[in-house]
Chains A and B, each alone.
Chain A
Amino acid sequence: MSLLEIDDLVVRYPGRRRGRKFTAVDHVTLDVRPHETVGLVGESGSGKTTIGRAVLGLAPVTSGRIRYDGKEIQSLSRAQRRPLAARIQVVFQDPYTSLNPAMTVEDILSEPLRAAGWTRSTARGRVVELLDQVGLPTGAADRFAREFSGGQRQRVAIARALALEPELVVCDEPVSALDLSTQDRVLQLLVDIQERTGVAYLFVSHDIGVVRHISHRVAVLQQGRLVEFGPCAQVTSRPEHAFTEELLLASPVADPARQRERRALRQAQREHVSTTPMSPITIQRRVP
């Protein structure tokens, strides 16, 4: 049984000119099971972030259904969504704008708790627990978010997401603003937390290397459409769709010799594509 089911989701935004609409998400169907990580990978404009925002109720759903734990949530009002706050949470890309710079870490972490009706003193106890869980010293509670480095801020953002012990966390490019070594540690933290608490992740990223590292299943998006969805090993090692292969070959690896081979493969593929007509992207594969 899936925790989150996205069924034929369409998100359209009004375009620049009147009457013309921009389709950000175009009939996408995918699901996330409890305890697993589903990676959403694609380039800018592929609709990956919009899908995450639609799940969180931050993007307007034009048609289709989003079911959480069997219940439809796509048309709930803000007030009706409030109970979901304890079950679906978020970690955003930019740790600089996702934390209010004028609030202390304790304020930030206790906010969802207080909104859920916790008392001040029980919330404080939970804040200490959360800081420990994400590897920050207890003394961090009294400091302002702006005093921390990018990696530390992202830890605070993760702690905020975990405050109410959610079952699903939407991670929207959570490591792409971080340095390589910091990125590695934050990814490891996310995996550790998953193994400890059994939380599921919908993990949005442009970096197929990162997605491959953390995901159980991977969905590849191109211009709002789902081109491939399946187990991580299969999608990132034996892709069925040409676009997935292009993404894989384009993302550089830290090995000059292998990078040379990949470059040759990519050029061969490009020549192959230019001589054969492109097939339209219609594949909608769903792994049961």
Chain B
Amino acid sequence: MSIEISAQALDAPTRTSTFRLILRNPLSRVGVVLLVLVLCALVAAIIMDWVAPDAPWHADLYHLNEAPGTNGHFLGTDSGGRDVLARLVVATKATMFSGVIALTVAMLLGLPGGLVAGYYGGRVDMVLDWLSSLVMSLPSIVVLLAIVSSLGTSMWISMTALGCMMAPAVFRLLRAQVHAVRNDLYIDAAKVAGLSDTRIIARHVFRVVRGPLVLMVSVMAGVAITVQTGLDFLGLGDATTITWGGMLGEGFAAMSANDILFVWPGLAMAVTVAAFFLIASGARDALQHADGGSSTPARSTATHLKPVPASAQAAAPPGEDEILTVRNLTVGYPSGEDVTEVVRGASLTLRSGHTLGLVGESGSGKTQTAFALLDLLPRQAMLMEGEVWLDGTEILRLAPRERTKRVREAIAYVPQEPMSNLDPTFTIGFQLVEPLRARGIGRAEARERAATLLARMGIRDPERVMRSYPHQISGGMAQRVLIAGAVSTEPRILIADEPTTALDVTVQSEILDLLRGVQEEFGMSIILVSHDLGVIADLCDDVAVMRNGQVVETASAEDFFARPRHEYSRMLLDAVPDENHVRPEYVEAPSPRRSAKTGEIHR
């Protein structure tokens, strides 16, 4: 069998660098263009510094406040008769440099701190976290103003201070990220492989945090530049350095004589900050894409399902002992222009009072089929073809509201993960009583009925369980509660999707016994979705085997296990660990013996 490792599967073109993903986003493409513009100005500033260091300072006192484009001044002159363009370009250097200082300081403090605190936890984490909280609790602008007024107006001092104020944000981000992966198994595997902590942090942990870090760096660069400009605008900057903030201040002061002067530094700053923020937002989207972080699609209300073509006339109704009949069911999902079919022409029959096992491996479409019957398909899903006869009525051609009503009345559902299907904020009692109340049963009677049901499910102290919250009960108990909830509305059909997969075998056997008992007592029909052939053998009368969205075999359980017809069924049954094969105790033989020192095998 080589389905699993076929070369074709390995050729899937899914490798795209994060940088390309960022570029793919139109917003961040604009950001990159703007950033290139700013970088060009920066290069020009450096060249100018070298070629014509006096140009921005050259005051032409005969041409004050010239309009843009006159006398060779592309952007005009300021109130001191100096060329605005030259000053604007040169200011790029100091402004960007201020951002670099602040970022470097924030990174130097936050990066190692966050990695170490997140990875080791414990006392180091406590101390660093306390320090970061302390800094965060300070009003940063006030502190910055105090530092500037007491220690001087040097950009070095103010930007270092700003870096210190921003460090806790870096620290927090990294600490949380690292904390989340600290217990991941690949970190354990690296420890077992003999890697040192430094190497693990550098190789494994840093890889996880670098994406969010890029995001944060670009946002912080924008913030640092804004703060620096603000300080200079207020006149708290170094007067001998040309910055956009300083130019902005001059522009405002000369507003009455030259009302356009403040626009240029303002524009420069807006372009720079926008560049950083746009790239950041593009990076965020790209990272979400790379993590495969597509959110689980919202459940559809039935009205969103695509209607089955009305032209396709439903065939004759099925026999009377068939409570649920599915014919030729096809479910698809849009993928680009095409539709990917996850269920392809599936046909099933559930006999009244019997149990049908729906068997298949992951991706076989068994859960999609169950969801289609439960009217619980995600919003994008399309019912493309088929008939579903419930109790003698074809329901896919009913109005969506009517269909939902019938399905809810007739079919109940027991899910795979009992815990995640109970709301942790409500007591068990409330969650059992509410659906009964919704059907117009009085409070006292509903409570009593819920308690009786729980007792029937083999729960010894129903009153106590009803007062409990989901986290206070075990997984097996939670599944009993969910089965009680499912049968409380007296459905005729129960669809159980891997109801025991998350449970221990001893609990599993009890839940299977319970389902069997409940079926006899309430006369229900059950569809049991499972990958476990043992569970199917235990409970089912009939079996349908699914593979790649198709039902490849339907048979009675007896026939299926004794005489499987389809090749795939035989393969599945062969894959069950052979009970008669037991390895004898290993007897030391003089065959391959490995030298402990060299790791070589001697024969």
Question: Which residues of chain A (127-141) have a CB below 8 Å from chain B?
Answer: 135-137, 139-140
CB <8 Å contact, B504 and A115: no
Residues of A near B5 (CB, < 8 A) are 135-137, 151-152, 155
Q: How far apart are the CA atoms of A198 and B591 in the complex, in Å?
A: 9
Give 1 or 0 for each of B548-587: 1 = CB within 8 Å of chain A CB: 0000000001100100000000011111111101111110
Question: Which residues of chain A (5-38) have a CB below 8 Å from chain B?
Answer: 33-37
CB <8 Å contact, B4 and A160: no
Q: How far apart are the CA atoms of A238 and B557 in the complex, in Å?
A: 29
Residues of A near B576 (CB, < 8 A) are 180, 184, 209, 254
CB <8 Å contact, A180 and B531: yes
Give 1 or 0 for each of A162-181: 1 = CB within 8 Å of chain B CB: 01110100000000000111
Residues of A near B189 (CB, < 8 A) are 90, 92, 98-99, 157, 160
CB <8 Å contact, B577 and A152: no
Q: Known contacts A99-B186, A252-B537, A259-B534; decide if A231 and B585 are in contact (CB<8 Å).
A: yes
Question: Which residues of chain B (179-196) have a CB below 8 Å from chain A?
Answer: 184-186, 188-196
Q: What's the least CB distance linking B233 to chain A, in Å?
A: 42
CB <8 Å contact, B195 and A115: yes
Select from chain B the residue with minimum beta-carbon distance to A258.
B537
Question: Which residues of chain A (214-229) have a CB below 8 Å from chain B?
Answer: 214-217
CB <8 Å contact, B4 and A90: no
Q: Which of A112, A207, A216 contacts B586 (CB 8 A)?
A: A216
Residues of B near A217 (CB, < 8 A) are 585-586
Decide yes or no whether A122 CB sits under 8 A from chain B: no
Decide yes or no whether A85 CB sits under 8 A from chain B: yes
Question: Which residues of chain A (78-106) have a CB below 8 Å from chain B?
Answer: 78-79, 81-90, 92-94, 97-100, 102-103
Residues of B near A97 (CB, < 8 A) are 184-186
Q: What's the least CB distance linking B135 to chain A, in Å?
A: 31
Q: Which of B509, B573, B584 contacts A233 (CB 8 A)?
A: B584
How many residues on chain B are close to A (CB under 8 Å)?
72
CB <8 Å contact, A58 and B191: yes
CB <8 Å contact, B203 and A232: no
Q: Which of B203, B578, B588 contacts A111 (CB 8 A)?
A: B203
CB <8 Å contact, B4 and A252: no
CB <8 Å contact, A247 and B185: no
Residues of B near A283 (CB, < 8 A) are none
Q: What's the least CB distance linking B326 to chain A, in Å?
A: 24
Residues of A near B12 (CB, < 8 A) are 147
CB <8 Å contact, A33 and B588: yes
CB <8 Å contact, A232 and B207: no
Q: Which of A85, A250, A259 contacts B193 (CB 8 A)?
A: A85
Residues of A near B572 (CB, < 8 A) are 180-181
Q: Which of B7, B192, B207, B508 contacts A58 (CB 8 A)?
A: B192
Give 1 or 0 for each of B51-64: 1 = CB within 8 Å of chain A CB: 00000000000000
CB <8 Å contact, A85 and B194: yes
Decide yes or no whether A192 CB sits under 8 A from chain B: no
Decide yes or no whether A63 CB sits under 8 A from chain B: no
Among B192, B509, B558, the most chain A Cβ lie within 10 Å of the Cβ of B192
Q: How far apart are the CA atoms of A29 and B573 in the complex, in Å?
A: 37
Among A44, A57, A84, the most chain B Cβ lie within 10 Å of the Cβ of A44
CB <8 Å contact, A209 and B190: no
Residues of B near A111 (CB, < 8 A) are 190, 193, 195, 203
Residues of A near B194 (CB, < 8 A) are 81-86, 112, 115-116
Q: What's the least CB distance linking A23 to chain B, in Å?
A: 19
Decide yes or no whether B151 CB sits under 8 A from chain A: no
Interface range, A side: 35 or more
Q: Known contacts A137-B10, A184-B577; decide if A259 and B537 are in contact (CB<8 Å).
A: yes
Residues of A near B207 (CB, < 8 A) are 100, 102-103
Q: What's the least CB distance linking B75 to chain A, in Å?
A: 47
Select from chain A the residue with minimum beta-carbon distance to B207.
A102
Q: Known contacts A87-B596, A99-B186, A151-B4; decide if A256 and B561 are in contact (CB<8 Å).
A: yes
CB <8 Å contact, A89 and B601: no
Residues of B near A180 (CB, < 8 A) are 361, 531-533, 572, 575-576
Q: How far apart are the CA atoms of A83 and B582 in the complex, in Å?
A: 35
Q: How far apart are the CA atoms of A213 and B576 in the complex, in Å?
A: 10
Residues of B near A115 (CB, < 8 A) are 193-196, 199
Residues of A near B588 (CB, < 8 A) are 33-35
Decide yes or no whether A266 CB sits under 8 A from chain B: yes
Decide yes or no whether B9 CB sits under 8 A from chain A: yes
Q: How far apart are the CA atoms of A85 and B573 in the complex, in Å?
A: 38
CB <8 Å contact, B573 and A232: no
CB <8 Å contact, A181 and B571: yes
Give 1 or 0 for each of B189-215: 1 = CB within 8 Å of chain A CB: 111111111010001100110000000
Residues of A near B361 (CB, < 8 A) are 179-182
Question: Which residues of chain B (287-319) have a CB below 8 Å from chain A?
Answer: 292
CB <8 Å contact, A33 and B586: yes
Residues of B near A182 (CB, < 8 A) are 4, 361
Interface, chain B (partner A; CB < 8 A): 1, 4-5, 7, 9-10, 12, 14-15, 184-186, 188-197, 199, 203-204, 207-208, 292, 361-362, 504-506, 508-509, 512-513, 531-538, 540, 557-558, 561, 571-579, 581-586, 588, 591-594, 596, 599, 601
Give 28 CB contacts A-B under 8 Å. Answer: A35-B588, A43-B505, A57-B192, A58-B188, A78-B196, A79-B196, A82-B194, A89-B193, A98-B186, A99-B186, A102-B207, A102-B208, A111-B193, A112-B193, A139-B10, A143-B10, A149-B4, A151-B5, A180-B572, A181-B571, A182-B361, A183-B575, A197-B592, A198-B601, A216-B586, A237-B582, A247-B506, A259-B537
Q: Considering the complex of A and B, which 5 residue pairs feature the smallest CB-CB distances, nearest first? A: A85-B194, A252-B534, A36-B586, A112-B193, A184-B575
Interface, chain A (partner B; CB < 8 A): 33-37, 43-44, 56-58, 69, 78-79, 81-90, 92-94, 97-100, 102-103, 111-112, 115-116, 135-137, 139-140, 143-144, 146-147, 149-152, 155, 157, 160, 163-165, 167, 179-185, 187, 197-198, 206-210, 212-217, 231-233, 236-237, 246-247, 249-257, 259, 263, 266
